[in-house]
Chain A
Amino acid sequence: MRIASALLLAAGLMLSSVRSAIAQPSTMLSVNGTPASMIISSAVTGVGSMSVTDATTTYFVRVKNASGNGTISAQLSAPMPLGTTLSLTMTPSFGATSLGPVDLSTVSQAVVTNIQKENGSTLAMTYVFAATAAAGVVPTQSRTVTFTLVAVP
């Protein structure tokens, strides 16, 4: 009877571990929120570059198996209009390195590197949309930013 109880307890603990593993994957990246529309409607007179900033969104990162070489990269779904840039800065988790601001493009670029073992943190993201006078009037449009977290176990 004692043996049976012990086995049941062990089985229960194992199932609990299974549930934990399912609920908390060792590697996780998510973004929270959608940036407000970044519309440039004024300038510092005589200055060539105009910009607007959005820092309203965050990201969540968890890397339990990394050994100090996890990387978050980002890329756009389509090129930016001529004379405009969209840059991104992601606050790094403890021990990681932010490469921001990074001008985003259709080529995947590292934004945060050296992500060490991270149990899960919600961190800030800052977008800056900039345009030169030469860009002219740019109709409102959208780009999808795809983030990829690669962590070496």
Chain B
Amino acid sequence: MIFNNVRCAAVALALVAFGAASAQAQTATQTVTFGVNAINQIAFAGSPTLTITTAVAGAAPTSVTDALSATWAVTTNQTGAKITASIPAAMGTGLTLSVSLTAPTGATSAGFQALSTTAVDLVTVITKQAQASLGVSYKLDATAAAGVVASSTKVVTYTITGGT
């Protein structure tokens, strides 16, 4: 009886040892969940200053333009996003502040657009783009009737509206 047990144990051990030696591959699994939400982000850098100081005699004061002091960047993963801009209060009589944004690849810039309290489209059809260091140009126009205008500041609010 004792010998039988020992023999059984030896056989079992041999079987397990054989099984262990041949079990060289192991597998395991893991589930990974992911997704991407709609993303529409813009950023602006720079604070331009525009001052009209000259005129051509007989013409309106000479407009000034700043195309170097500001840049903008955009990231959208949607189709047909657009950028609009507005200012919180109207410009003084005889003064016009305009802005033009360089369009990212594939989008359309509306060129210089006068800013007012009503949002105006600046760039449209922005589709699945991520670009930085895009140009921003500001222009200040004045009529003679505007007179001397004390230095003041306007905060321009840009808004990106997602597409589809």
Residue positions of A touching B, CB distance < 8 A: 4, 7-8, 10-11, 14-15, 17-18, 21-22, 25-31, 34-35, 37-50, 52, 57, 59, 65, 84, 86, 127, 129, 131-153
Q: Select the stretch in B34-42, B92-100, B145-153 that faces chain A.
A: B34-42
A118 CB to closest chain B CB, in angstroms?
12
Which one, A14, A37, A46, contacts B13 given CB within 8 A? A14
Other-chain residue from A29, A47, A143 in contact with B27 (beta carbon distance below 8 A)? A29
A35-B35 Cα distance, complex, nearest whole Å: 13
Residues in B neighbouring A52, C-beta threshold 8 A: 34
Q: Is the CB of A31 within 8 A of B30?
A: yes
Contact with A along B130-159 (1 / 0, CB 8 A): 111100000000000000000000000000
Is B86 in the interface zone, CB < 8 Å from A? no
Nearest to A59 among chain B residues (CB) is B28
Whether the Cβ atoms of A39 and B13 lie closer than 8 Å is no
Distance of A49 Cα from B131 Cα, bound (Å): 11
| Nearest CB on B from A124, distance (A) | 13
Complex contacts, A18 vs chain B, CB 8 Å: 9, 12-13, 16
A12, closest chain B residue (CB): B9
A143 to B31, CA, bound (A): 6
Which of B48-56, B60-68, B74-82, B110-118 makes up part of the contact surface?
B74-82
19 cross-chain CB contacts under 8 A: A7-B2, A11-B2, A17-B13, A25-B23, A37-B33, A39-B34, A39-B35, A39-B36, A42-B39, A43-B75, A46-B74, A59-B28, A65-B21, A65-B24, A134-B128, A137-B36, A141-B34, A142-B32, A143-B31
**What residues of B have a CB within 8 angstroms of the CB of A146 in the complex?**
27-29
Question: B59 at interface (Cβ–Cβ under 8 A)?
Answer: no
Asked if residues B37 and A41 are in contact (CB atoms below 8 Å), the reply is: yes
Q: Inside 8 A of B24's CB, which chain A residues have their CB?
A: 27, 65, 150-153
CB pair A40–B33 under 8 Å, yes or no, is: no
Is B91 close to A, CB under 8 A?
no
On chain A, the residues within 8 Å of B13 by CB distance are 14, 17-18, 21
A11 neighbours in B (Cβ, 8 Å): 2, 5-6, 9
A129 / chain B contacts, CB cutoff of 8 Å = 32, 34
Smallest Cβ distance from A47 to chain B, in angstroms?
A: 6
The residue on B at minimum CB distance from A143 is B32
Q: Does B57 contact A (CB under 8 A)?
A: no
Q: Name the residue of chain B whose CB is nearest to the CB of A8.
A: B2
A149 to B29, CA, bound (A): 12
Q: Which residues in chain B, 10-28, are within 8 Å of chain A measured between CB atoms?
A: 10, 12-13, 16-17, 20-21, 23-28
